[in-house]
Structure 1
Amino acid sequence: MHLENVVWDARDPRRLGRFWAAALDAEPMTDRPECFEARMILSGDAFLDLCFQRVAAPSSAPARLHLDLAGGARQRDVVERLVGLGATHTDIGQGEVPWVVLADPEGNAFCVMEDREAYRGTGPIAALPLDSADPDRDAAFWAEITGWIPWNGTAGAVTLRHPSGAGPLLELCPEPEPKRGKNPLHLDVRADPGDGDPSARLTDKGARQVSRAGELPWLVFTDPSGNEFCVLPAPPG
């Protein structure tokens, strides 16, 4: 399996997707009222897709996954550009911090980070912080299902990255509170040819299966800390 998608639940996928595609210089692939998809090339054949799916009422539960965007020495310029695209400044209780917290057009908070050595060369997304009840345990779980490897990241998180060294960091961060409600953003992994049914393998690693085979075109699980993710079928051939 490999990590393929970051997925947003959206009231208006086209509007939200176009914002993020412009923000991250991603190439739109699907542009429909009910579904918008764009692709970010990380390096060579490594990519990350941004997917926006229509839901009647996106979850209002506290976000456990968000995007940290690279700002660095150009942080102010990056913020101004994002605001020009439709982002707004927001207060989530961050206090005095060196990063800037914004919200996308549907209110999902994200950060524009200050200069950090760990974020050099990541591209526009510096990190994908994911709340975890046990970061060491969950890092081992996500490494198993994504193929990403341990990486020297920022203090306070256990970090993984694509083995090419390209693209964002996946940061397993100590959760401020136990999970409640559905995550408005989640990750998808794609099965590789020959993987077969991943259910037993994943549950043995601490996942919980939410959907049964045949109910959806993909399988829905939660990781050991309760964060939703989907396993997409292997590509044909």
Structure 2
Amino acid sequence: MALRPVNVNMKALDDAAIGGFWAEALGWELASEAPGVTNVEPGGGFVWPGAAAVCVDVVSVPEAKTATKNRTHIDLATTSEAHRAELVARLRALGAKPVDIGQGDVPWTVLADPEGNEFCVLEPREIYRDTGPVAAIVVDCVDPRAMARFWGDATDWTVHEVTDERAVLRSAQQGVGPYLEFLREPGAGGKTVPDRVHIDLMPYAGEDQAAEVARLRGLGAVDLDLGQGDVPWKCLEDPEGHEFCVLRPRGTA
């Protein structure tokens, strides 16, 4: 039994506009599975879900983002300082704005998309040379060690690093796709608003969604009611309250 991260799920007032922004930012393509949902996926024959990329799903909601910083964000990879400068300039032309989240003097650039979702454009780093445009999905947390235990057991991704300050996971397929990073942020506990950005997990073909959800509860996940009603996915929270969804396996009605 195993689950894999397949989407970064973002809420937006205008899913088409924000989906378009992220498609331009990543150099990916747009699709739409239903009204109010815009999918952003790699082109070039990529078949979702796949280990080479965790895609972006933008879902329309009536509520605007609050001033509260998202606990989950995307880090974008760059290959050179010139590439970083060009990417930052291009993203600002698309509507991104610089934001101060207390980062201080750092070599990366912190921006927010046109609806205020924070993200980082990283300086060139050797570790991210083969990730594609998304270097990492980054989650603020209180206890990286606890997150490594839960997410390492919840998914089939390999835990690469665990310290008091961070935990790093990546697909078990060597050298493929982005990293999942949990960074210690003491203020990340005590959630005050629903998560604007979360991760979607999916069982592999032939696996049972209900059995996976039961397994996650045994690991410390709890059910989450956001008023979603009767939907084909299951909403949960990890032991620190980070929201996530378990989708049905591909091909399941």
Deviation, 1:136, is 1.5
Deviations 1:72-116 (A, max 9, x none): 422111111211222122222222111111110101111111122
Q: 1:208 to 1:32 in 2, by over 3 A?
A: closer
CA distance, structure 2, for counterparts of residue 213 and residue 12 of structure 1: 19
Contact kept? 1:14, 1:31, Cα under 8 Å: no
Q: Which segments of 5 or more consecutive residues in structure 2 lack a partner in the other structure?
A: none
Quick check: 5-14 or 188-197, which moved more? 188-197
2:123 corresponds to 1:114 = yes
Deviations 1:199-220 (A, max 9, x none): 3211110111114997322100
* Residue 208 of structure 2, aligned match among 179, 195, 211: 195
Contact kept? 1:13, 1:36, Cα under 8 Å: yes
Find runs of 4+ consecutive structure 1 residues off by over 6 angstroms: 41-44
SS in 1 for 2:73: coil
2:71 corresponds to 1:64 = yes
Instruction: Trace 1:36-47 onto structure 2 (pairs within 5 A).
Output: 36-40=38-42, 45-46=50-51, 47=53
Q: Which segments of 5 or more consecutive residues in structure 1 lack a partner in the other structure?
A: none
2:42 corresponds to 1:30 = no
2:240 paired residue number: 225
Amino acid at match of 2:143: D
Contact kept? 1:12, 1:33, Cα under 8 Å: no
Deviations 1:166-225 (A, max 9, x none): 121100111231132211100000122233412321111011111499732210000111
SS in 1 for 2:20: helix
Deviation, 1:12, is 0.3
2:217 corresponds to 1:206 = no
Identity of aligned residues (%): 39
Deviations 1:129-182 (A, max 9, x none): 111222112122212233111225999421001122212110011123113221
CA RMSD of aligned residues (A): 2.6
TM-score by length of 2: 0.84
Count of aligned residue pairs for this structure pair: 237
Contact kept? 1:62, 1:180, Cα under 8 Å: no
Quick check: 102-111 or 192-201, which moved more? 192-201
